[in-house]
Amino acid sequence: MSLRATLLLTLLLPLAACNKDAPAPTAETAPATTEAATPAAPATDAPATAATPAAPVAESADIPPAASPDVPVGPAPVAGIDYEEIAGGQPFEPGSGKIEVVEVFSYTCPHCAAFEPLVRAWRARQPADVKFTPVAGPFGGNPEPFARAYYAAESLGLLGKTHEAMFRAVHLDHKIDMHDANAETISAWYAGYGADAAQFASTMGSFAVDAKFKRALQFMQRSAVDSSPSVVVDGKYKIKGKTLEDTLRIATHLVAQERAARSGG
């Protein structure tokens, strides 16, 4: 079964999140909710529905932009309920001139694994004025080596081949034991995708990756992100979706809101 088809089954559950304090459950046993800063709403209040699988997204770190914006659906999001305004918030990468959408994730978080096929399809529907930026954070079990691996793969140009594959290796194929993984075992896995294992391990521990990881932590602290997956729009809004799909619905509204504000609408 494909990663997309398998993980979409989890959308029958309300949105849960991985946090810093508790190890993430395995994908097979992930509960409907977990302890997080913002508890998910009960299923009886806002039931999640399984999404229709989207067409496969190209395995590329740079997904081509769509020709036109997504049209927001459903009610407009409400501050304090659907999202939090970040006091003094700043984009993760300011100065791009685009509307930034950051996804804070962890490879060891099963809810991030469930989110991945949805967020890839959503990203593919965004036009050129939207900049989507994944940020690897310290959530789930043993997350730091995996976060460092993400930034090392980014530095070495491997994300297009490895990002979705890493979720599959951890949560579906169990080729990597998330709790026992270290730089050596993770680098050996990346060697299967064209990396030099020794070079990859060295890059994971490099000054450049240290800087990327610290920058990510600073952004999360500034944006009050304490669980994953979390979505932050333009450094201003932290989304509080009730389900995985609801998170992206709210993101679409907030992107449209920012677009209108910039154009004077």
Whether 142 is covered by a domain: the verdict is yes
Whether the Cβ atoms of residue 135 and residue 216 lie closer than 8 Å to each other: yes
The CATH code of the domain that includes 175 is 3.40.30.10
- In-domain check, residue 233: yes
Which structure tokens are listed for 125? Answer: 């529907």
How many domains are contained in the chain? 1
Is 3 part of a structural domain of the chain?
no
Q: Is residue 63 part of a domain?
A: no
What is the tens place of the pLDDT at every residue in 77-125? 999 999 999 999 999 999 889 999 999 999 999 999 999 999 999 999 9
Q: Is residue 169 included in any domain, yes or no? A: yes
In a domain, residue 251? The reply is: yes
Is 46 a domain residue? no
Residue-range definition of the domain harbouring residue 218: 71-258
Say yes or no to pLDDT of 255 above 60: yes
* Predicted local distance difference test score (pLDDT) of residue 265: 64
| Each residue's pLDDT tens digit, 174-198 | 999 999 999 999 999 999 999 999 9
Q: What is the pTM of this model?
A: 0.78
C-alpha distances (whole Å) from 96 to each of 44, 92, 93, 101, 128 are: 41, 10, 7, 12, 12
Contact call for residues 109 and 141 (beta carbons, < 8 A): no
Are the C-beta atoms of residues 18 and 24 closer than 8 Å to each other? yes
Q: Residue 37: which of 219, 238, 235 has the closest Cα?
A: 238
The model's confidence at residue 251, banded by pLDDT at 50, 70 and 90, is: very high
pLDDT in tens, 18-71: 876 433 333 333 333 333 333 333 333 333 333 333 333 333 455 767 767 778
Residue 190 placed within a domain: yes
Triad 90, 114, 144: Cα angle to 5°: 60
- The dihedral formed by the CA atoms of 141, 116, 136 and 145, expressed in degrees to the nearest 10: 40
